[in-house]
Amino acid sequence: MIRTEKLTKKFGTDRGVFEIDLDVPKGCIYGFVGHNGAGKTTAIKILCGLLRPDSGKAFIGDYEVTPKNIPLIKKSVGYMPDITGVYDQMSVWEFLDFYGAAFKIPPQKRKERIESVLELTNASAMIDYQVSSLSRGMRQKIGLAKTLIHDPDVLILDEPAGGLDPNARIEMRRTIAGLKGLGKTILLSSHILPELASVCDRVGIINKGRLLAQGTVQEIGERLQENLTILVTVDSDTRRALEVISGLEHVQDAVIADVNHISLSYTGSRELAGRLLDSILAAGVKVRWFEENEANLENVFINITSASGGKAE
């Protein structure tokens, strides 16, 4: 539903995006992960038709993002920037009615549509509030309602949980998951990794303007050939087991995680990890359980961006 081909936009020699190939299937929540300044917002603005690329192509559904197709793109896409612009002097109703008129929704249909998007964002109680009285979390809800007013198939949300308190972030996640249930395709940009890991089907990791990996967190984690996190449960002296394990090849940062659990970072390949268990057993350590911790987004992100040269400037 969202696709780019070698999309490039340069701001000098080392800023922008460089030949990125995004692939966001229909009905998917896609997490766009990167440090601040990594290129997420640049790519998003190109997808929304707000910036023109230097080279490459971008597509929303069957339409290429070009100047002649911008009217079609605007109908298909709902874009929520990281800071939602609102008109403080308006009520919530007036604000949404204004955007409904901008999208040429007939007056007789706007009332129903406004009530619908407020219900979707759990903001119905705010309908008569003055915008100037809204908290940051309330403004984000109204910003999302505005994004939904024309019922787009594709939602592009740039840092929607930025600046929200924990409860508001949880509520935003639930709302986004509910929108997927309505068949929306959602590209969700954030640097708050737990937010993405808990709601996204697929992720794309961008660093210094280059897309380093995309797929499910598990798929990306399985491609990494180093820095596996392994948990060993022992039935023998835990401190002696720690000494044995710490001295083995490719083992780093081994620590006692609990009474009889040892957590370690293994820097060898996944194919050789089985030999680590053989070495532990050969040293006389009684092992009850040996497993690789399931890949999580934070570990995958750190491993991939570290391999590519670290944090964006």
Q: Looking at the domain 2-215, which fold is it?
A: Rossmann fold (3.40.50)
For the stretch 254-288, pLDDT in tens is 999 888 999 888 887 767 777 889 999 999 999 99
Q: At what angle do helices 136-148 and 92-102 cross, to 10 degrees?
A: 30
User: How far apart, in whole angstroms, are the C-alpha atoms of residue 230 and residue 266?
Assistant: 7
Q: Looking at the domain 223-307, which fold is it?
A: Alpha-Beta Plaits (3.30.70)
Q: What is the pTM of this model?
A: 0.76
Could you give the C-alpha distances from 244 to 247, 267, 287, in angstroms and in order?
A: 5, 17, 12
Length of the chain: 313
More confident site: 82 or 299: 82
DSSP string across 183-216: T-EEEEEES-HHHHHTT-SEEEEEETTEEEEEE-
Sign, CA dihedral 17-21-26-29, equals negative
Contact 190, 159 (CB under 8 A): yes
User: How far apart, in whole angstroms, are the C-alpha atoms of residue 189 and residue 103?
Assistant: 25
Mean predicted confidence (pLDDT) in 152-178: 89
User: How far apart, in whole angstroms, are the C-alpha atoms of residue 258 and residue 53?
Assistant: 52
Contact 183, 1 (CB under 8 A): no
Under the banding of pLDDT at 50, 70 and 90, the label for residue 296 is low
User: How far apart, in whole angstroms, are the C-alpha atoms of residue 212 and residue 206?
Assistant: 6
In the prediction, which pLDDT does 294 show? 62
Any idea where the domains of the chain sit in the sequence? 2-215, 223-307
Is the pLDDT at 78 greater than 90? The verdict is yes
